Amino acid sequence: MPRTEIQTIGEFGLIKRLTESIQLQQPSSIKGVGDDAAVMNFGNKRVLMTTDILLEGIQFNLEYVPLKHLGYKAAVVNFSDIYAMNGKPTQMTVALGISTRFSIEDIEELYSGIRLACERYGVDLVGGDTTASMTGLTISITCLGVANEEDIVYRNGAHLNDLVCVTGNLGTAYLGLQLLERERIALRGQKTGDEIAAFQGREYLLERQLKPEARKDIIEQLRNAGIKPTAMMDVSDGLSSEMLHICSLSDCGCAIYEDKIPINFKAAEVAEEMNLNIVTCALNGGEDYELLFTCSINDYEKLVPLDDVYIIGHITPKEQGTLLIGRNGEQLPLKAQGWQAFNS
Protein backbone atom coordinates (compact mmCIF):
# COMPACT_ATOMS: atom_id res chain seq x y z
CA MET A 1 0.00 0.00 0.00
CA PRO A 2 1.51 3.39 -0.96
CA ARG A 3 2.47 5.80 1.82
CA THR A 4 1.54 9.49 1.59
CA GLU A 5 3.20 11.98 3.91
CA ILE A 6 0.69 14.23 5.71
CA GLN A 7 2.69 17.36 4.92
CA THR A 8 2.00 16.88 1.19
CA ILE A 9 -1.65 17.87 1.72
CA GLY A 10 -1.35 19.85 4.97
CA GLU A 11 -3.66 20.17 7.96
CA PHE A 12 -6.75 21.32 6.09
CA GLY A 13 -6.25 18.76 3.34
CA LEU A 14 -6.03 16.02 5.97
CA ILE A 15 -9.20 17.23 7.70
CA LYS A 16 -11.05 17.25 4.37
CA ARG A 17 -9.83 13.77 3.46
CA LEU A 18 -10.86 12.31 6.82
CA THR A 19 -14.25 13.97 7.03
CA GLU A 20 -15.61 14.69 3.53
CA SER A 21 -17.57 11.41 3.37
CA ILE A 22 -19.07 11.64 6.87
CA GLN A 23 -22.87 11.63 6.83
CA LEU A 24 -24.64 13.03 9.89
CA GLN A 25 -27.10 10.42 11.18
CA GLN A 26 -28.67 12.07 14.22
CA PRO A 27 -31.54 14.54 13.71
CA SER A 28 -29.97 16.63 16.48
CA SER A 29 -26.74 17.14 14.45
CA ILE A 30 -27.22 20.38 12.53
CA LYS A 31 -23.63 21.26 11.55
CA GLY A 32 -20.61 18.96 11.69
CA VAL A 33 -17.02 19.47 10.60
CA GLY A 34 -16.11 22.66 8.75
CA ASP A 35 -16.80 25.62 11.01
CA ASP A 36 -15.51 27.07 14.28
CA ALA A 37 -17.87 24.80 16.21
CA ALA A 38 -20.35 22.00 15.60
CA VAL A 39 -24.05 22.81 16.05
CA MET A 40 -26.61 20.48 17.64
CA ASN A 41 -30.33 20.81 18.27
CA PHE A 42 -31.37 19.77 21.77
CA GLY A 43 -34.49 21.87 22.22
CA ASN A 44 -35.18 25.58 22.23
CA LYS A 45 -31.47 26.46 22.12
CA ARG A 46 -28.79 25.23 19.74
CA VAL A 47 -25.77 23.62 21.39
CA LEU A 48 -22.32 24.50 20.05
CA MET A 49 -19.24 22.34 20.59
CA THR A 50 -15.57 22.90 19.82
CA THR A 51 -12.38 21.13 20.82
CA ASP A 52 -8.71 22.10 20.73
CA ILE A 53 -5.48 20.31 21.54
CA LEU A 54 -2.19 21.93 22.60
CA LEU A 55 1.08 19.98 22.55
CA GLU A 56 4.26 20.98 24.33
CA GLY A 57 6.97 21.78 21.81
CA ILE A 58 4.43 22.43 19.05
CA GLN A 59 1.88 24.98 20.32
CA PHE A 60 3.80 26.15 23.38
CA ASN A 61 7.28 26.27 24.86
CA LEU A 62 7.53 26.11 28.64
CA GLU A 63 10.91 27.83 28.58
CA TYR A 64 9.00 31.11 28.44
CA VAL A 65 5.29 30.29 28.81
CA PRO A 66 4.15 30.41 32.47
CA LEU A 67 1.83 27.54 33.35
CA LYS A 68 -0.91 29.85 34.63
CA HIS A 69 -0.86 31.83 31.38
CA LEU A 70 -0.92 28.57 29.41
CA GLY A 71 -4.01 27.37 31.25
CA TYR A 72 -5.77 30.70 30.68
CA LYS A 73 -4.92 30.72 26.97
CA ALA A 74 -5.94 27.08 26.47
CA ALA A 75 -9.41 27.88 27.77
CA VAL A 76 -9.84 31.24 26.03
CA VAL A 77 -9.00 29.98 22.53
CA ASN A 78 -11.91 27.56 22.85
CA PHE A 79 -14.24 30.30 24.07
CA SER A 80 -13.19 32.29 21.00
CA ASP A 81 -14.50 29.55 18.70
CA ILE A 82 -17.91 29.72 20.35
CA TYR A 83 -18.05 33.51 20.07
CA ALA A 84 -17.06 33.16 16.40
CA MET A 85 -20.35 31.30 15.91
CA ASN A 86 -22.16 34.20 17.61
CA GLY A 87 -22.82 31.98 20.62
CA LYS A 88 -22.13 31.98 24.35
CA PRO A 89 -19.68 29.48 25.91
CA THR A 90 -21.21 27.70 28.90
CA GLN A 91 -19.32 24.51 29.88
CA MET A 92 -15.95 22.91 29.24
CA THR A 93 -13.95 19.77 29.96
CA VAL A 94 -10.17 19.45 30.24
CA ALA A 95 -8.03 16.40 29.39
CA LEU A 96 -4.35 16.40 30.32
CA GLY A 97 -1.41 14.21 29.37
CA ILE A 98 1.23 14.75 32.07
CA SER A 99 4.86 13.60 32.11
CA THR A 100 6.75 12.77 35.30
CA ARG A 101 8.70 16.03 35.28
CA PHE A 102 5.56 17.91 36.39
CA SER A 103 4.65 18.16 40.07
CA ILE A 104 1.23 18.52 41.68
CA GLU A 105 2.02 22.19 42.23
CA ASP A 106 2.76 22.63 38.50
CA ILE A 107 -0.61 21.21 37.48
CA GLU A 108 -2.36 23.29 40.14
CA GLU A 109 -0.73 26.38 38.60
CA LEU A 110 -1.95 25.35 35.15
CA TYR A 111 -5.46 24.84 36.53
CA SER A 112 -5.40 28.20 38.27
CA GLY A 113 -5.20 29.80 34.82
CA ILE A 114 -7.99 27.60 33.46
CA ARG A 115 -10.21 28.43 36.41
CA LEU A 116 -9.49 32.16 36.12
CA ALA A 117 -10.58 32.10 32.47
CA CYS A 118 -13.75 30.21 33.40
CA GLU A 119 -14.56 32.75 36.12
CA ARG A 120 -14.01 35.74 33.84
CA TYR A 121 -16.13 34.35 31.01
CA GLY A 122 -18.79 32.66 33.12
CA VAL A 123 -17.99 29.13 31.92
CA ASP A 124 -18.37 26.03 34.10
CA LEU A 125 -15.56 23.47 34.26
CA VAL A 126 -17.58 20.24 34.36
CA GLY A 127 -15.16 17.36 33.84
CA GLY A 128 -12.19 15.92 32.00
CA ASP A 129 -9.48 13.29 32.18
CA THR A 130 -5.81 12.88 33.06
CA THR A 131 -3.27 10.34 31.88
CA ALA A 132 0.48 9.78 31.89
CA SER A 133 2.50 11.12 28.96
CA MET A 134 5.89 10.13 27.59
CA THR A 135 6.25 13.32 25.53
CA GLY A 136 5.68 16.27 27.88
CA LEU A 137 2.43 18.13 28.49
CA THR A 138 -0.70 17.74 26.37
CA ILE A 139 -3.85 19.81 26.91
CA SER A 140 -7.14 19.00 25.21
CA ILE A 141 -10.19 21.15 25.91
CA THR A 142 -13.76 20.70 24.72
CA CYS A 143 -16.08 23.65 25.12
CA LEU A 144 -19.87 23.75 24.84
CA GLY A 145 -21.93 26.83 24.15
CA VAL A 146 -25.48 27.86 23.34
CA ALA A 147 -27.18 30.12 20.81
CA ASN A 148 -30.59 30.76 19.37
CA GLU A 149 -30.96 29.13 15.97
CA GLU A 150 -31.56 32.47 14.27
CA ASP A 151 -28.42 34.00 15.84
CA ILE A 152 -25.83 31.44 14.71
CA VAL A 153 -23.31 32.72 12.16
CA TYR A 154 -21.46 30.27 9.92
CA ARG A 155 -18.46 30.79 7.64
CA ASN A 156 -20.46 30.28 4.45
CA GLY A 157 -22.88 33.21 4.53
CA ALA A 158 -20.93 36.05 2.89
CA HIS A 159 -22.74 37.79 0.02
CA LEU A 160 -21.67 40.03 -2.86
CA ASN A 161 -20.86 43.58 -1.69
CA ASP A 162 -20.86 42.64 2.00
CA LEU A 163 -18.38 44.60 4.08
CA VAL A 164 -15.36 42.72 5.48
CA CYS A 165 -14.57 43.70 9.07
CA VAL A 166 -11.99 42.74 11.66
CA THR A 167 -11.58 43.61 15.33
CA GLY A 168 -8.61 44.76 17.38
CA ASN A 169 -5.23 44.62 15.66
CA LEU A 170 -3.41 41.90 13.77
CA GLY A 171 0.12 40.51 13.79
CA THR A 172 0.76 41.55 17.38
CA ALA A 173 0.63 38.06 18.90
CA TYR A 174 3.06 36.79 16.27
CA LEU A 175 5.53 39.56 17.06
CA GLY A 176 5.18 38.83 20.77
CA LEU A 177 6.20 35.26 19.95
CA GLN A 178 9.18 36.48 17.92
CA LEU A 179 10.35 38.56 20.91
CA LEU A 180 10.09 35.56 23.22
CA GLU A 181 11.90 33.28 20.81
CA ARG A 182 14.67 35.81 20.20
CA GLU A 183 15.38 36.19 23.91
CA ARG A 184 15.13 32.45 24.51
CA ILE A 185 17.87 31.82 21.96
CA ALA A 186 20.02 34.79 22.97
CA LEU A 187 19.88 34.02 26.67
CA ARG A 188 19.94 30.22 26.61
CA GLY A 189 21.76 29.04 29.68
CA GLN A 190 22.07 32.58 31.04
CA LYS A 191 20.21 34.38 33.82
CA THR A 192 21.53 37.90 33.58
CA GLY A 193 18.37 39.97 34.01
CA ASP A 194 18.81 41.34 30.46
CA GLU A 195 15.75 39.37 29.35
CA ILE A 196 13.57 41.67 31.45
CA ALA A 197 15.08 44.80 29.91
CA ALA A 198 14.51 43.43 26.41
CA PHE A 199 10.75 43.36 27.03
CA GLN A 200 10.31 46.78 28.62
CA GLY A 201 7.71 48.84 26.79
CA ARG A 202 6.61 45.78 24.85
CA GLU A 203 4.47 44.12 27.48
CA TYR A 204 1.35 44.42 25.31
CA LEU A 205 2.90 42.25 22.60
CA LEU A 206 3.81 39.58 25.14
CA GLU A 207 0.31 39.66 26.61
CA ARG A 208 -1.24 39.18 23.17
CA GLN A 209 0.84 36.02 22.73
CA LEU A 210 0.77 34.60 26.25
CA LYS A 211 -2.66 35.70 27.48
CA PRO A 212 -5.08 36.47 24.63
CA GLU A 213 -8.71 37.38 25.22
CA ALA A 214 -11.79 36.19 23.35
CA ARG A 215 -13.88 39.03 21.89
CA LYS A 216 -17.02 38.59 23.97
CA ASP A 217 -17.28 42.38 24.02
CA ILE A 218 -17.58 42.58 20.24
CA ILE A 219 -20.37 39.99 20.12
CA GLU A 220 -22.26 42.06 22.69
CA GLN A 221 -21.62 45.29 20.74
CA LEU A 222 -22.91 43.77 17.50
CA ARG A 223 -26.00 42.42 19.20
CA ASN A 224 -26.74 45.74 20.88
CA ALA A 225 -26.31 47.56 17.55
CA GLY A 226 -28.72 45.20 15.81
CA ILE A 227 -26.04 43.77 13.52
CA LYS A 228 -25.91 40.09 12.62
CA PRO A 229 -22.79 39.17 10.61
CA THR A 230 -23.37 37.16 7.45
CA ALA A 231 -20.18 35.10 7.99
CA MET A 232 -17.67 35.02 10.83
CA MET A 233 -14.66 33.20 12.26
CA ASP A 234 -11.84 33.97 14.66
CA VAL A 235 -8.32 34.78 13.51
CA SER A 236 -6.24 31.89 14.79
CA ASP A 237 -4.17 30.97 11.71
CA GLY A 238 -3.84 34.44 10.12
CA LEU A 239 -6.11 36.90 8.32
CA SER A 240 -5.30 35.53 4.83
CA SER A 241 -6.07 31.95 5.80
CA GLU A 242 -9.35 32.84 7.52
CA MET A 243 -10.47 35.11 4.67
CA LEU A 244 -9.81 32.34 2.17
CA HIS A 245 -11.93 29.96 4.28
CA ILE A 246 -14.87 32.38 4.22
CA CYS A 247 -14.54 33.01 0.47
CA SER A 248 -14.21 29.31 -0.36
CA LEU A 249 -17.24 28.30 1.69
CA SER A 250 -19.29 31.33 0.59
CA ASP A 251 -18.31 30.85 -3.09
CA CYS A 252 -17.12 34.42 -3.49
CA GLY A 253 -14.04 36.61 -3.81
CA CYS A 254 -12.85 39.57 -1.76
CA ALA A 255 -10.87 42.79 -1.89
CA ILE A 256 -8.88 43.53 1.29
CA TYR A 257 -7.19 46.94 1.52
CA GLU A 258 -3.69 46.94 2.97
CA ASP A 259 -4.00 50.42 4.46
CA LYS A 260 -7.21 49.47 6.30
CA ILE A 261 -5.73 46.51 8.21
CA PRO A 262 -5.45 47.58 11.89
CA ILE A 263 -1.84 47.59 13.09
CA ASN A 264 -0.53 48.28 16.60
CA PHE A 265 2.19 50.95 16.71
CA LYS A 266 4.46 48.97 19.04
CA ALA A 267 4.07 45.90 16.83
CA ALA A 268 5.12 47.96 13.80
CA GLU A 269 8.21 49.15 15.70
CA VAL A 270 9.23 45.61 16.62
CA ALA A 271 8.61 44.36 13.07
CA GLU A 272 10.92 47.03 11.70
CA GLU A 273 13.55 46.19 14.32
CA MET A 274 13.40 42.53 13.31
CA ASN A 275 13.40 43.31 9.59
CA LEU A 276 9.89 41.89 9.21
CA ASN A 277 7.06 43.30 7.10
CA ILE A 278 4.28 44.26 9.50
CA VAL A 279 1.55 43.68 6.90
CA THR A 280 2.89 40.18 6.25
CA CYS A 281 2.79 39.56 10.01
CA ALA A 282 -0.81 40.81 10.14
CA LEU A 283 -1.88 38.65 7.20
CA ASN A 284 -0.14 35.45 8.26
CA GLY A 285 0.97 35.65 11.90
CA GLY A 286 -2.05 34.08 13.58
CA GLU A 287 -2.99 33.64 17.25
CA ASP A 288 -4.60 37.09 17.47
CA TYR A 289 -8.03 35.55 18.26
CA GLU A 290 -9.75 38.62 16.86
CA LEU A 291 -13.02 38.25 14.95
CA LEU A 292 -13.15 38.43 11.15
CA PHE A 293 -16.68 38.89 9.84
CA THR A 294 -18.75 40.08 6.92
CA CYS A 295 -21.99 42.01 7.14
CA SER A 296 -24.46 43.75 4.88
CA ILE A 297 -23.42 47.09 3.44
CA ASN A 298 -26.75 48.33 4.80
CA ASP A 299 -25.23 48.04 8.29
CA TYR A 300 -22.48 50.55 7.52
CA GLU A 301 -23.96 53.36 9.62
CA LYS A 302 -24.36 50.98 12.58
CA LEU A 303 -20.78 49.70 12.25
CA VAL A 304 -18.97 53.02 12.18
CA PRO A 305 -19.60 53.96 15.86
CA LEU A 306 -18.51 50.55 17.21
CA ASP A 307 -15.35 50.47 19.28
CA ASP A 308 -12.41 48.42 17.97
CA VAL A 309 -14.17 47.31 14.76
CA TYR A 310 -12.54 48.10 11.40
CA ILE A 311 -13.87 47.82 7.85
CA ILE A 312 -11.00 46.42 5.77
CA GLY A 313 -12.63 45.44 2.48
CA HIS A 314 -15.64 43.98 0.72
CA ILE A 315 -16.91 40.79 -0.90
CA THR A 316 -16.55 40.50 -4.68
CA PRO A 317 -17.65 38.00 -7.36
CA LYS A 318 -15.76 34.71 -7.20
CA GLU A 319 -14.20 35.19 -10.63
CA GLN A 320 -12.42 38.35 -9.44
CA GLY A 321 -10.42 36.29 -6.95
CA THR A 322 -9.27 36.96 -3.40
CA LEU A 323 -7.12 40.08 -3.54
CA LEU A 324 -5.03 42.32 -1.34
CA ILE A 325 -5.15 45.90 -2.64
CA GLY A 326 -1.83 47.62 -1.90
CA ARG A 327 -1.32 51.21 -0.85
CA ASN A 328 -0.62 52.22 -4.47
CA GLY A 329 -3.55 50.28 -5.89
CA GLU A 330 -1.58 47.17 -6.84
CA GLN A 331 -3.50 43.90 -6.66
CA LEU A 332 -1.91 40.82 -5.07
CA PRO A 333 -3.54 37.42 -4.51
CA LEU A 334 -4.17 36.50 -0.89
CA LYS A 335 -2.22 33.38 0.09
CA ALA A 336 -2.65 31.20 3.15
CA GLN A 337 0.86 31.39 4.59
CA GLY A 338 -0.07 31.18 8.26
CA TRP A 339 0.18 28.26 10.68
CA GLN A 340 0.03 24.82 9.05
CA ALA A 341 0.13 22.04 11.61
CA PHE A 342 1.88 19.39 9.52
CA ASN A 343 4.37 21.53 7.62
CA SER A 344 7.95 20.86 8.68
Instruction: Report pLDDT digits (tens) over 300-324.
Output: 999 999 999 999 999 999 999 999 9
The answer to whether 286 touches 174, Cβ cutoff 8 Å, is: yes
Higher pLDDT, 43 or 274: 274
Which of 15 and 304 is assigned the larger pLDDT?
304
Segment 254-272 mean pLDDT: 97
Q: Which domains does the chain have, with CATH numbers?
A: 36-151 (3.30.1330.10), 163-333 (3.90.650.10)
- What SS3 class is residue 71? helix
The pTM for the full model equals 0.87
> What b/e sequence results for 38-69 when a residue is b if at least 16 CB atoms lie within 10 Å of its CB, and e otherwise?
bbbeeeebbbbbbebebbbeebbeeebbebbb
H-state helical runs in the chain: 10-19, 67-83, 104-121, 172-186, 194-199, 203-210, 216-225, 239-250, 265-273, 278-284, 300-303
- Between 27 and 109, where is the model more confident? 109
What pLDDT digit, counting tens, does each position of 138-153 carry?
Answer: 999 999 999 999 999 9
Judge whether residue 86 has pLDDT over 70: yes
Q: Is the pLDDT of residue 51 over 80?
A: yes
- Which whole number is the average pLDDT over 241-263? 97
> Rounded to an integer, what distance in angstroms lies between the CA atom of residue 157 and that of residue 305?
24
Task: Dump pLDDT digits (tens) for 95-117.
Answer: 999 998 989 999 999 989 999 99
